[in-house]
Structure 1
Amino acid sequence: MTNTSTPTGMATPVPDFRPAPPQDGAPSAWRRLWSHPKMIQYHRLFALVVLVNAWVAYSGFQGGWWADAQHAAMGSIAQVMLANFAMAILVRQQYVVNALFWLATRAPTSWPLSVRWQLAKVYHFGGLHSGGTTLGSVWFAVLLATQAWHVSAGGQGVSALTMGLGVALLLLLGGIIAMALPSYRAKQHNRFEMMHRFGGWTALALFWAHAVSTVADGLPAGQALGASLARQGEVWVLALLTFSILLPWLRLKRVKVEITKPSNHAVVVRYNYGDDAFPGSSNTVSLNPLIEWHAFANIPAPGEKGFRQIISRAGDWTGALIDKPPTHLWVKGITTCGVANIEVLFKKVVYVATGSGIGPVLPHLLADKLPMHLVWATRNPRKTYGDALVDEILQANPEALIWDTDTHGKPDLVALVLEAVRRTGAEAVICIANQKLTQAVIQGVELRGIPGYGAIWDS
């Protein structure tokens, strides 16, 4: 396909491309299965957590970890439970996320594509988060049931307070997990977010209360509670997790922003408060730090201070920000790596974006770290996002295909991307679009043996 972009940034009609057939014939049944959205690495990691926990449970029965001749080993159950929760919380910590991306992208492009393909799936770490939370809750239910059995059998050392705190915590964990299910989260995202935040904080407080009560129950006469707590390894792990949760809030700041409004559909927000941003990074921002947070891709430009974010109308929060642009926004935590950071694992990539998805892509075009080609489908790009932004894109990537959906209708993105890969020889595709389109593009290219990457909507 020849370049069809004109100097104005519009695209002339493109032939109705059909997906290019794979060179090795039709996709195998294994590849069709492995490329299905239900089989993404996120779900594989969740399954891995389940399998590891099943192995631990089985090994524990074989090795007598869970009970001796007279007593249930509640301490061993609690340790496995805490290990699951520790993994779930720490893998979401922003510094840990950045470290995971750094480690995964150390591989040189001389390594086999199959290896780099899997390393670039590092952003699916959310499967460890959801898996650890779910299995940690299962182990906590086992611990609570064991404590109830211990009490019913006339055992000592488990107070009514400890049992009550445990029941309250288990119910709360069940509510958090239920509201995090994709079917609920997609329809009631604000409620999910509130439950995840305030329910999570409450759960943390209940964990502390339950831990202190458990230690107090077994405290020998005359021994100080504080000294006994300090000797418990589980208490120090809980302290680490508490610090990990608090850390982003310790970096909370209210910053001045400059907002330009090229249309009623989108705004460009400029930040210059001293923090550095890098291509492929994001920051979470809010109008009210206790109510609602949203993550947007940062757009740094070489040689310029600060960075930008493009925010499109996509709900009540973004609509309010666009209709009444604020002078200040709240920013939490640190600049964090996003999906597109994995581009350095490949020799050449095709970026495909729709609408404001150009925001996460633009800094990579400007940084120009490796050969890339852009396919951008959007409604009237100059009217919606402004001449300056479109000209900036074309200057950075003159061969970009910008498809005006107002003029030409919605394209067959999979066909356009496959043609772009065939023409440019790209090794991978990175898609920034809505969930349905992202899944269609990734599945479409991976069915043909081309690595595909995009958001997985797990937060």
Structure 2
Amino acid sequence: MERAEIKIARFSSCRGVAFEINPNRSNPFAIGSPTKQERIGTWLWLPWTRSNSFKILPQPRTISPTRSRTSSHFCDIDIEASDVELEFIAEVQDVEEADKAHRVKVQKLLPKNDTPRRSRLSIILLDQGFTFYKGLFVVCIALNMVALALSAVGYFPYAKKRATLFSIGNILALTLFRSEAFLRVIFWLAVKTLGRPCVSLGIKTATTSFLQSVGGIHSGCGVSSIAWLIYSLVLTLKNKDTTSLEIIVVAFTILSLLLISSLAAFPLLRHLHHNVFERTHRFAGWMALILLWLFIFLSMSYEPKSHTYDFTMSKVVKKQGLWLTLAITILIITPWLSVRKVQVSVSAPSNHAAIIKFEGGVQAGLLGRISPSPLSEWHAFGIISDGKKEHMMLAGAVGDFTKSLISTPPKHLWVRTMHFAGLPYLVNLYQRVLLVATGSGICVFLSFLLQPSKADVCLIWVAKDIELNFGREMRQLVNKYPKEKVIVHDTAICGRPNVAEMSVNAAIRWNVEVVIVTSNPEGSRDVLRACKRANIPAFGPIWDS
């Protein structure tokens, strides 16, 4: 009997991107229901080398195709099923021993995925553990409560006489750490001073954790300002003769507005009714600021002996509260001075996403806010730009506003021309970074592929029906980047991958300093946990900010 000839077939993607096939199907490019597997499992084929030869790595059983159809992304190759099986047997025998140790090592580092799936909200509220954000929140509360307690027992007389000033000081701090202009300067200084090869990785990751979590200071100071104002009102009511009824009424109104604003920001309400939170937070804050000015002038002009008001400016300007309130006002007004109504071009490659184009180039890593009506709601998106003539935003259809962009594309939108810095901007702190994105989350990273960056970035993008849902333009932007630094995984063709395992493998292979992920709460959590177990610094969205 003649010896069977083993045909070694090499597959090359038409677009040079990563893809999966299952050898146990009659058509290796069809994604269908899993068939009976006896000798060979499911494998992932990736273009590890520039020559587009492929290495075979085992994939966990968690990968499952999302639907059954023939791929339209690859060249047509006629191959018999028996030939594919013979090839896999030969190749597995060659690489199995070499890859065994690596597979065991990676699997040990990954968290066990044996817990039941939880809702998005439960992951946001309950499944993040004690984050750096919460740590900053606790520190702010603790410091203020210690000072308040010392004041109450008489060991801090300065605070007892100026309890209202401490409340205003906390309002200034919470405003400062939510000011997009102030944070833009802080992020820029951090990148300029710490984004050098000589600075240790530990300092860079600590800086990233802090800057990403400054919202904890905002929340902690907000609660503390309420505590100090209550304390001030209690002291005032004990000495009614030293103040007037008007001042007490204004102070109680400010307290009520701060309480309403804080309750609206409670995580459960904020995530379930975001528009209610945004409008309540904004308008209650504005009303409180107006009344704060009234309170400043009334309290600093009141004469207890004559029960009259002396509105002499020379007297008022000497008070610290006036200047703190002025600083708060400037910080709140500054972003609104950059609001403009601009012409936009909106296209919808599918009913899943819209592409919004604006004039003017934008630096990589910055984010922008847009609104159909500036006093109602604002939406933040990552900015895609080559830094030259134009920039654009990719808006996934997940809410009423983003869906309206697809159904009734607007000709004009309100924008804040002052773009703000977020986690993507801190890519510039590092020398080598792995960016992991799912779905429309790719928009915050694409600028790093289109314009020069201090960091050497690599990319993993996992999405469904990429060209169909996000358009050929998005695919072409990714294809401009060196293909040895990009893995694009289309789940409609390749099935749903274990993104956490894929990220750890890529981080080790590319020898990156840090992983930055943008995904849904569950996806981000899984990648962060996997990287933590592998001792790889990783950062993702702060859902409780």
Q: Same fold (TM over 0.5)?
A: yes
In structure 1, what is the equivalent of residue 332 of structure 2? 245
Distance 2:246 2:152 in 1: 29
TM-superposed CA distance for 1:166, in Å, is 1.7
1:190 partner letter:
N
1:288 partner letter:
S
Contact 1:17 1:419 in 2 (8 A): no
Q: Compare CA radii of gyration and give the structure with the larger one.
A: 2
- Secondary structure in 2 aligned to 1:386? helix
In structure 2, what is the equivalent of residue 350 of structure 1? 434
2:290 partner letter:
A
Contact 2:335 2:416 in 1 (8 A): yes
TM-superposed CA distance for 1:323, in Å, is 1.0
Q: Does residue 197 of structure 2 align to residue 109 of structure 1?
A: yes
Q: Does residue 176 of structure 2 align to residue 90 of structure 1?
A: yes
Distance 1:12 1:344 in 2: 32
TM-superposed CA distance for 1:432, in Å, is 1.1
Structure 1: segments with no counterpart, 5+ residues: 28-35, 68-72
- Secondary structure in 2 aligned to 1:334? coil
Q: After the TM superposition, which residues 177-256 of structure 1 pair with which residues of structure 2 at under 5 Å, given as runs?
A: 177-218=262-303, 223-256=310-343
TM-superposed CA distance for 1:22, in Å, is 7.5
**CA deviation string 1:23-76 (max 9, x = no partner):** 99899xxxxxxxx82322111111121222234235546774338xxxxx6542
Determine which of 130, 134, 138 is the counterpart of 1:43.
134
Q: Does residue 467 of structure 2 align to residue 382 of structure 1?
A: yes
Distance 1:5 1:101 in 2: 40
TM-score (norm 2): 0.75
Distance 1:398 1:220 in 2: 80
Structure 2: segments with no counterpart, 5+ residues: 1-10, 22-43, 45-57, 62-102, 112-126
In structure 1, what is the equivalent of residue 214 of structure 2? 125
Contact 1:252 1:330 in 2 (8 A): yes
In structure 1, what is the equivalent of residue 19 of structure 2? 11
Distance 1:43 1:20, change over 3 A: farther
1:237 partner letter:
L
TM-superposed CA distance for 1:405, in Å, is 1.7
Q: Does residue 231 of structure 2 align to residue 142 of structure 1?
A: yes
TM-superposed CA distance for 1:146, in Å, is 1.3
2:351 partner letter:
N
2:59 partner letter:
D
RMSD: 2.6
Distance 1:175 1:146, change over 3 A: same
- Secondary structure in 2 aligned to 1:261? strand
Distance 1:219 1:330 in 2: 49
**CA deviation string 1:124-171 (max 9, x = no partner):** 1111111111111111111111111222xxxx2221111112222212
Determine which of 388, 393, 396 is the counterpart of 1:309.
393
2:287 partner letter:
T
TM-superposed CA distance for 1:288, in Å, is 0.8
- Secondary structure in 2 aligned to 1:39? coil
**CA deviation string 1:341-372 (max 9, x = no partner):** 11122221111101111100100122242322
Distance 1:391 1:194, change over 3 A: same
Contact 1:286 1:293 in 2 (8 A): yes
1:143 partner letter:
S
In structure 2, what is the equivalent of residue 395 of structure 1? 480
- Secondary structure in 1 aligned to 2:290? helix
Contact 1:37 1:443 in 2 (8 A): no
**CA deviation string 1:185-244 (max 9, x = no partner):** 110101000111111111111222222221233377684343332221211210121121
TM-superposed CA distance for 1:281, in Å, is 0.4
Over the matched positions of the two proteins, sequence identity in percent amounts to 27
TM-score (norm 1): 0.88
Determine which of 445, 466, 476 is the counterpart of 1:361.
445
Distance 1:232 1:4, change over 3 A: farther
Q: Does residue 302 of structure 2 align to residue 259 of structure 1?
A: no
In structure 2, what is the equivalent of residue 65 of structure 1? 156
